[in-house]
Structures are given as C-alpha cells and as structure tokens.
Amino acid sequence: MAPLQNFANYPKPEEGPDTGYVQRVDHNPVLRGIPLMLGGELIARSNLIARYFYQNSGIDKIKEMHVLDNIESTFHPTVTPLGPTGPMLAFEPELLTSKYASSNARYYSISDYHELYKSGKTTPLKVVETLLALTTGSGKYSDAWADAHGAERLALDAAKASTERWAAGNPIGVLDGVPIGVKDDTDVEGYINHTGMKYDPSLACFAVKKESVWPVKKLQEAGAVVLGKNKMHELGSDTSGLNVSQGTPLNHLNNDYYPGGSSNGAGSSISAGIIPIAVATDAGGSVRIPAHFNGVYGLKPTHHRTHVMQMTMCVTGPMAANVADLTIAYRVMTQPNPDCPTQGLFALSIPPSPSAKRVMGVYRDWFNKADPPVRELCDKALDYFAARRGYEIVDISIPYLSEMQVAHGGLCIAEMAEKARQRTPNPADHLSLIGGANKILLSVGAQPSAADYLKMNSLRTLVMRHLAFLFQKYPGLLIMTPATPLIGWPRADGDDAYGMSDTNTTLRNMSYIFLANVTGTPSVNAPVGYVDPQQGEGKLPVSLIATGEWGSEEQLLAWAREAEEYLHEEYPEGRRRPDAWADVFTLTGGQQ
C-alpha cells in the first residue's frame, strides 16, 4: 500500500465508533398505476406533502447527530493517488487471449473481435450494419437502445473508416472496429442525451452534443465504434431499470425480472451479446447493480478518475461481458486529460505484486442481512478465496451505515433536483418532463436545508476517515459484500404503462453499493453463482462486490479475474448465458 504522502486529500485515518448495524426498515407507500400518477401530481403541487415525505425519510435527522458537530464537510470525495500518470499500462497477453472459448456460456471479447477482423472473415462495417438492424426500429434487441434521431450514420461512418484501416493493414489497435454502447446521460458527439426522458426537441437539454466526454473520446480514438446510446432509468433515479417514457429493456436471463438500473440498456445489451463493453454512470450502484442483475461485470472507479462530473456521488465507468474487456476499457477511459486539473493528476493504478497482502474485510452484521440464498452463495465464494487464493478474511465494522445510506439518498436526490431545474426555460416547469415516480422523488429532493446538506457531508467525512483507518490497519484490504441483498427485482403487471414507486425495495436493493459512492472509493461486481427465481424462467445471478482503497482499480480488476475463474471453473453449474444471446460472429459471416 502506498504511503499517505502519495495521495492528495487522503482522509485522516481515524477509527469511528462501533455503532453496530441495525438495518433500517422503511415505511414508504408503494404506488403504482393511477395512484402513482395522482400522487405525483399532488406532491408536486404541495410543499407540505413533500415535506411530510422528507421527514418520513429521516434525512432531516442527520443534522441532529452531535457526533458530527466538529467534523468538516466533504463534498466531492476526491482522493487522488499521485505519481506517474502515464503511459497507459500495456495490455498483458492474458487480456488479449480469448478465455473460456470452449464454454457454453462464452461471450465474445474484444480480442475475439480483433482476431475476427484480422482474419478477414468479416468487417467492422458488416458487424455494425448487422447490429443496427437488431437494435433500431423493430429490431429484436431495440428495447435497450434510445432513439438515435438519425445518428446511426455516425456509427456506419466510424465502422467504414475502421474497415478501411483493416483493409490497408493499419488498424489502430485491439479496439479498432469493436462496437460499444454509451449510456444515455453521457455525451457522445452527434448524439442526444435523453437521460431516460421523453424527447422534446424544443428544449435545449435535448440538443445534439458537439463533443464526446473524455472517456468516450478515448475509446473512439482507440477505434471503438459507438453503436448508439443505451437506454436508462428516467433521470437515473432508481435501480429497477423500469422506464415508462422510453420502454424497459429486457433482463434476458429471466424476462419476468427488471434489468436493474439505472444503466438498464447497457446491462441488457451486454448480457445479450450485442456489445462487449459499454460506458455507464454510477451514483448509487447504477453500473454495478445492472451489471449484477444481468450477470456481467461493472467497475465504479475512484471519484473523478475518468472525468469530473458535477455531482458528488456520480462517476463514469465501464461495464463488460468479460473481466479482460472491463480492464481494457478501464485503462483506455482513464488516460489523463491534460486539460483537466483534477482528472489529469491521477496516477496510474498499478496491479498488485504477487507478494502483496491479500485481505478481505467482512462486516458480518451488515453482510448477513442479505436474503439467505444470496448469503449462502457469497459465503461459498469467500471460502474459495480464503482456501484457494490465499486471502485472509478479517472481521471489520463500519460506523453509522444506516444513517449514511439515508444521507446518500438525501444527497443524491438534492443534487438531482437542482440539476433538473436547469432543463426547462422556466425552472418551475421542470417536473413537467418526468413521470409520477420522479415527481415525488424530486419534490422531496427540493426539501433539504443548507444545514442538512452540510451535515450529510460531515457524515461522509466521518465514514471516509474510518475507511482510511481500515486501509491503513489492513494493507491490501478489500471490503466484501453481496451486490444486493435481493434475489432480483420482479416485474409487476401494469408497471410498464404507469410506472412504479417502491422506495422500500429501492433502498434495500442499495444496501451495500452506496458505500463506494459516498466515500469515492472504487468498487467492482463479479457474479459468483445463480439462484432459482420467484417467478418466470431462468436462474438469477448473485454477485459479490469488492470495494478497495482509493486508486486501487487494478487490484479490484485482478480480484474480478479470480472471481471470473471461480464462476467458470469452480462453481458447479459454471457461468450462464441467456438463450436470447446473439451470436454476432455467425450473424455477420464469421465463425465462433
């Protein structure tokens, strides 16, 4: 572990009190259909009702915590590893070699695409033409893709340019011609950000973007072809992935379950084999939860590692079908931006040495709140890492987790509410753009006072200091939890027409993932098994999440590769792939 002087803004290592963990039980009304529509209108028009829901959430109680009285507030939890910022780490041979090619659950990787194009059996243009037929209009997989408003031509132009490079024998590199998706809140030159909302061309917020955001630009410069924009939960405000305005993508592992959110389209498309990687965002598990629900991999990087976002929780990170591809995407996306005084300072994340300590921390009171089948599979995986991979498992505790989850929710909705006001010429009209569930959420999000906001961020400081204490006490520590305590999120009749507001399930679904968003630490999910569903056909994935010290992305990716091997080679059933998986290579004239 690097000494503290190798970081900027490293928190003061300070052990917090042992508060125990008491799972919060929420009693918010569950609204669907007409009651949701009426409730959304009512709360949007009544500050008194919005205030009642705000007080019911407990957000206003954070400022009464006297333990926070002398703790300063941390707004952006940016802890920056210092050192060489480049060159980008070279791709090791194992990242460029197809793994598990004989598996019945094989997913094509970036290296597979590279070898396919190299063989001349098909071209990037043929691949993109085939995929656009599947993902636009009435295509079989179009449910996961937002309307491109004619920007499909940009994907075709990029694929044609890549095809010409391959024909001339001058590909840019391993990503040249590989199709990718980008979440619909992330800028791509020539495309519109719908942010999960119904399109209104009269509003400036739906204007065509003039430039790709930095991590997308770096992928494009490496030759990757943006196939289009992946759908998302409206405003990215929930973790089910339900979207009434645009339609809800399928969870191809079991159609009777939601795909997770907010990056629902990315998770669905990767699981179906349409793309090997996607660029997504994560303020409350929006990379890791849909990756988990769809049986793939997602990395939430250190805060501001990929680029600076004007939200204190949200980061941009990759999702992928394979850990090798997740690693390649991460390295390309996190190259330093010389024009950014914050992101450009981040030192390279370095893979751990073979002699590095391997420690997993488990807060049992917290971990054990998962549903029994989830807990059982996660425990079996931990036993494997201890017995076969040399990890020491230590008991840890983290103070005020229940309170911190409340603060996480309060901060997220406060920042979302303020950002939403900017979308209409008259800020008072901003709720007209969204559905009933978000009218409720943003009305509540407008309630926090300055004191509330300051004290929630003071609690953030306390928890960051405690994590710093744990990372110093246990060098190499990975904090291990299930991705979610739930066995998926079942779909309900009528939700696609009117929407759904089930804050109780939302908060329970986010029981573990919020820690990394609050503290700015990196975190990765990896599937470790499957369980029987409560409805529908198709087993559902169970994932572990590992959260590491600031700047430890390469350590997390190394662990994820071990978890991938466990799933393929040690887990009795092996990895699963949906029946709806698209064999892109066969469809385009290549071979498996």
Q: Is the pLDDT of residue 329 over 80?
A: yes
Lowest mean pLDDT among 3-7, 45-49, 238-242, 353-357: 3-7
Q: How far from the centroid of its chain's Cα atoms is residue 515's Cα?
A: 13
Q: Note the pLDDT of residue 1.
A: 46
- Written as one string, the DSSP assignment of 411-452 is HHHHHHHHHHGGGSSSGGGGGGGS-HHHHHHHHHHT---HHH
**CB 350: neighbour CB atoms within 10 A?**
16
Q: Note the pLDDT of residue 4.
A: 73
Summarize pLDDT for 255-270 with one digit per residue, the tens: 999 999 999 999 999 9
CA atoms within a 13 Å half-sphere pointing along the CA-CB vector of 192: 21
Among the listed residues 254, 255, 258, 229, the one whose alpha carbon sits nearest the alpha carbon of residue 244:
258
Q: Note the pLDDT of residue 356.
A: 95
Domain ranges for the chain: 89-350
Q: Is the pLDDT of residue 127 over 90?
A: yes
Question: What pairing do the DSSP bridges indicate for beta strands 523-531 and 297-300?
Answer: antiparallel
Q: Note the pLDDT of residue 23.
A: 87
Q: Is the pLDDT of residue 37 over 50?
A: yes
Provide the 3-class DSSP secondary structure of residue 349: coil
Q: What pTM was estimated for this model as a whole?
A: 0.97
Summarize pLDDT for 203-220 with one digit per residue, the tens: 999 999 999 999 999 999
Collect all residues with Cβ–Cβ distance below 8 Å to 500 and sequence separation of at least 6: 30, 31, 32, 36, 240, 242, 437, 492
Q: Is the pLDDT of residue 556 over 70?
A: yes
Record: fold of 89-350: Amidase signature (AS) enzymes (3.90.1300)
Q: Note the pLDDT of residue 321.
A: 98
Whole-number percent of the chain with pLDDT over 90: 95
- The CA distance from 26 to 178, in Å, is 44
Summarize pLDDT for 345-358 with one digit per residue, the tens: 999 999 999 999 99
Among the listed residues 262, 305, 251, the one whose alpha carbon sits nearest the alpha carbon of residue 80:
305
Q: Note the pLDDT of residue 589.
A: 85
Summarize pLDDT for 445-479 with one digit per residue, the tens: 999 999 999 999 999 999 999 999 999 999 999 99
Summarize pLDDT for 56-111 with one digit per residue, the tens: 999 999 999 999 999 999 999 999 999 999 999 999 999 999 999 889 999 999 99
Average predicted confidence (pLDDT) for the chain: 96
Among the listed residues 236, 219, 235, the one whose alpha carbon sits nearest the alpha carbon of residue 227:
219
Q: Note the pLDDT of residue 2.
A: 53
Contact 240, 524 (CB under 8 A): no
- The CA distance from 560 to 35, in Å, is 43
Average pLDDT of the segment spanning 521-544 = 98
Collect all residues with Cβ–Cβ distance below 8 Å to 175 and sequence separation of at least 6: 110, 219, 222, 223, 224, 328, 332
Summarize pLDDT for 387-405 with one digit per residue, the tens: 999 999 999 999 999 999 9
Q: Note the pLDDT of residue 97.
A: 93
Which helix (DSSP H) or strand (DSSP E) does residue 163 occupy? helix 152-167
Q: What are phi and psi of 576, to 5 degrees?
A: -110, 150
Q: Is the pLDDT of residue 592 over 70?
A: no
- The CA distance from 583 to 586, in Å, is 6
